[in-house]
Amino acid sequence: MIRTYKAECPVPVKRAVMVQTWENLVYLHWAYEPEQVQSLLPEGLLVDTFAGNAYVGLIPFQMRGIGVPHLPAVPYFGTFPEVNVRTYVIRNGIPGVWFFSLDINRMLPTFVARTTYSLPYCFGKVSHGVQQVGSTSVVETLVQRRWPRGVEASTQLRIEVGNTIAAPSDFEHFLSARWGLYSQTHNKKIRYAPVSHEPWPLHRATALHVDDSLVQAAGLPAPTGEVHALFSPGVSVRVGSPSTKFVE
């Protein structure tokens, strides 16, 4: 597969095991030294960089309508807010997302995702929504992690949505145009699950308030420097089955 960060998905998922919608996404990213991020990755994954920097993202959004193709969405458990901490990696020329944590407010999906996709989902109080303040859209996000126990972690975010980006830059594609996710199984094997959707509609955004400890709870140093903010109203997503065949 050719390494690409273009807006269009290079290899659409033909046989999806899940479909869902991601709505009202906020992208908050900070630059890190690549070595700081690489030290937290499993063997076999390399941190992906842009202009010499690794990037760590704090990404809140609304997950809606999880289900399998051609069947109704799962009621209640298929819709919830999520806030993930992630970075960008590459293996054998295939770029993707690596999740350090994913916080939601549904216990059952937490256990299912940890079991089936080997993803570090966490449970707690999570809310995420958009409000109109005059003529401006403002996104507010709250997380108070309750499980797994032992590591206190929370976030409070307030983001102002700006104008549509007509032609996203290479850097904005680097942060958003990712067509798969990596995970590590309990026996230390790397798996890759392909993801496809329409091109991201992106907006400028401004971080009005950021009070976060989720990034540090993942084992990273506290972010420094200016935060890069984007917003997207969302996309409809098809997720393929996780497999080692893409990466071996």
pLDDT at position 155: 98
Any alpha helices (H) in 39-120, and if so which ranges?
107-116
Q: Tell me the pLDDT tens digit for each residue of 79-110.
A: 999 999 999 999 998 999 999 999 999 998 89
- 183 sits in which H/E element: strand 180-184
Contact 244, 189 (CB under 8 A): yes
- Which residues, at least 6 apart from 226, have a Cβ–Cβ distance to it below 8 Å? none
Tell whether the model's pLDDT for residue 227 goes beyond 50.
yes
Rounded alpha-carbon distances, angstroms, from residue 131 to 48, 161, 205, 212:
34, 10, 14, 21
Tell whether the model's pLDDT for residue 3 goes beyond 60.
no
C-alpha 48/C-alpha 155 separation (Å) is: 25
Q: Tell me the pLDDT tens digit for each residue of 15-39.
A: 999 999 999 999 999 999 999 999 9
What confidence category does residue 246 fall into, taking pLDDT thresholds of 50, 70 and 90?
Answer: low
Question: What are 10's two structure tokens?
Answer: 């290079």
Tell whether the model's pLDDT for residue 49 goes beyond 90.
yes
Question: What are 115's two structure tokens?
Answer: 């079991």
Rounded alpha-carbon distances, angstroms, from residue 22 to 91, 97, 125, 216, 242:
25, 16, 19, 25, 19
pLDDT at position 111: 86
Tell whether the model's pLDDT for residue 2 goes beyond 60.
no
3-class secondary-structure state, position 189: coil
CATH 2.40.400.10 describes domain 18-239: yes
pLDDT at position 69: 87
Rounded alpha-carbon distances, angstroms, from residue 119 to 103, 165, 184:
11, 31, 8
Tell whether the model's pLDDT for residue 233 goes beyond 90.
yes
Tell whether the model's pLDDT for residue 248 goes beyond 90.
no
- 141 sits in which H/E element: strand 136-147
Q: Where in the chain are the domains?
A: 18-239
R_g (Cα) of the chain, nearest Å: 17
pLDDT at position 76: 61
Tell whether the model's pLDDT for residue 64 goes beyond 90.
yes
Mean pLDDT to the nearest integer, 37-64: 97
Separation of first and last alpha carbons in the chain: 13
Tell whether the model's pLDDT for residue 44 goes beyond 70.
yes
Nearest by Cα to 157 from 103, 218, 231, 211: 211
Sign of the four-CA dihedral 139, 194, 90, 170: negative
Q: Tell me the pLDDT tens digit for each residue of 123-176.
A: 999 999 999 999 999 999 999 999 998 878 999 999 999 999 999 999 999 999
